[in-house]
Structure 1
Amino acid sequence: MTIQKPFSQACENNKEAILQIIKTVFSQPTTVWEIGSGTGQHACHFAENLPHLEWQPSDRPEHLAGIHLWRDEAQLANLLPPLSLDVADLLWPCERIDAVFTANTLHIMSGDEVRLLFERLAVYLAADATVCIYGPFNYAGAYTSESNAGFDLWLKERDPQSGIKHFEEIMVLATKSGLELQADNAMPANNRLLVLRKRA
């Protein structure tokens, strides 16, 4: 069966705005683990524009074939083959992680999955590791826009366990995992890009 290369319009819309932030955050050579690479579009764009990085895509097994198609077309030496990774996996396919990027993942995950993500990061992150998280968040228990409120309703209709997460609750999980907030960047379309760093 022929697999069609997946495409996300959201990735096309936000990739350049994200790049402008992460090129300053990930300014030194390192390997960035992308958790939940989805279609693979972000991985290709960032690996192409940040040649000093090794970019490690990862996602659940059902998404890997699509990521391979994007990677095969891109032909980038610093874009590594995607790895199978579910945040709930007790053992991740690595010994340590120096940098993490994840986009549009937390709101499609359940609260328990988000908690597990941060528990695993506490185990696998190296000292001084940097974590970038992109997506929508609620602040002080409220939506930041009507469009986010509508998006959250759509998410919950699709999966009652999913939904936009509260910034303050994410910060509690991050702190328990040894992460400190470095920056909370406002992004287009009512999204944010959180930059966190592991305490040494």
Structure 2
Amino acid sequence: MKRRAPAAERNREPILDVLQRVLPDGAFTLEIASGSGQHAAHFAAHLPGVTFQPTDPDPAAITSIEAYRAELDLPNFLGPLRLDAAEDTWPVTRADAVVCINMIHIAPFRACEGLFRGAARILPPGGVLFTYGPYRFSGAFTAPSNEAFDASLREMDPSYGVRDVDDLDRLASQWGFVREETVPMPANNHCLVFRKTA
């Protein structure tokens, strides 16, 4: 059964605007934590030269992604795979880009660490790791709403929370990435574009 996330409907166009710039034509793009599948469906429909491989660890999400894929029947929208970013083994061994939208704050930090570690394993030099969501910058929230959101996340699960970009930059450096671009987005979110250098 198809799921529908209102936030995905709202943010898909601003995110697409950035992806159109940073994903090269012909790129095989691995999406981590695809959720409902709405993003993969929208991006595949608007970027016919880019192949999207959606993934998620949740069986219900896999079912939803497959429903969107079957409905669109696009050659560049591949069938979903099970993938947990925190695990050391991923079902994809090579990609040109990795896209991760709204996962980092609603998963334990080990999933964020696994994201960078896994992306370093499968991306070539020059490959893009793209993340989107709410962030702190050097300890500061970008808006009171993000601070309240962080508190609600930590109440739900102490291992969740709005991550600090300084911590992501440290992970990036550890795994051979540099943050190339920081793009402010609606609703106090940001796109972070990391590039693999080594």
Pairing 1:89-128 to 2, within 5 Å after superposition: 89-128=87-126
Name which of 51, 54, 71 aligns with 1:54: 51
Pairing 1:109-148 to 2, within 5 Å after superposition: 109-148=107-146
Deviation at 1:137, TM superposition (A): 0.4
| Cα distance in 2, alignment partners of residues 66 and 9 from structure 1 | 15
| Cα distance in 2, alignment partners of residues 94 and 140 from structure 1 | 33
Partner of 1:178: 176
* Percent identity (aligned): 39
| Cα distance in 2, alignment partners of residues 27 and 111 from structure 1 | 29
Partner secondary structure for residue 96 of structure 2? strand
| Cα distance in 2, alignment partners of residues 191 and 161 from structure 1 | 20
Partner of 1:77: 75
Partner secondary structure for residue 65 of structure 1? helix
Name which of 184, 188, 193 aligns with 1:195: 193
Partner of 2:62: 64
Query: Is the CA contact 2:29–2:50 (under 8 Å) kept in the aligned structure 1?
Result: yes
Amino acid of the structure 2 residue aligned with 1:14: N
Tell me which stretches of 4 or more aligned residues in structure 1 moved more than 3 Å.
none
| Cα distance in 1, alignment partners of residues 77 and 121 from structure 2 | 25
Query: Is the CA contact 2:27–2:51 (under 8 Å) kept in the aligned structure 1?
Result: yes
| Cα distance in 2, alignment partners of residues 146 and 75 from structure 1 | 42
Partner of 2:164: 166
* 1:13-56 deviation per Cα after TM superposition (whole angstroms, max 9, x unaligned): 00000111110111321111000100000000000000000111
Amino acid of the structure 1 residue aligned with 2:173: T
Question: Any gaps of 5 or more consecutive residues in structure 1?
Answer: none
Name which of 8, 12, 23 aligns with 2:9: 12
Query: Is the CA contact 2:127–2:196 (under 8 Å) kept in the aligned structure 1?
Result: yes
Partner secondary structure for residue 51 of structure 1? coil
Question: Any gaps of 5 or more consecutive residues in structure 2?
Answer: none
TM normalised by structure 1 equals 0.95
| Cα distance in 1, alignment partners of residues 136 and 116 from structure 2 | 18
In the alignment, is residue 25 of structure 1 matched against residue 22 of structure 2? yes
Deviation at 1:173, TM superposition (A): 0.2
Query: Is the CA contact 2:86–2:113 (under 8 Å) kept in the aligned structure 1?
Result: no
Query: Is the CA contact 2:86–2:110 (under 8 Å) kept in the aligned structure 1?
Result: no
Deviation at 1:134, TM superposition (A): 0.5
The count of residues paired between Structure 1 and Structure 2 equals: 197
Aligned-residue CA RMSD in angstroms?
A: 1.1
| Cα distance in 1, alignment partners of residues 28 and 120 from structure 2 | 18
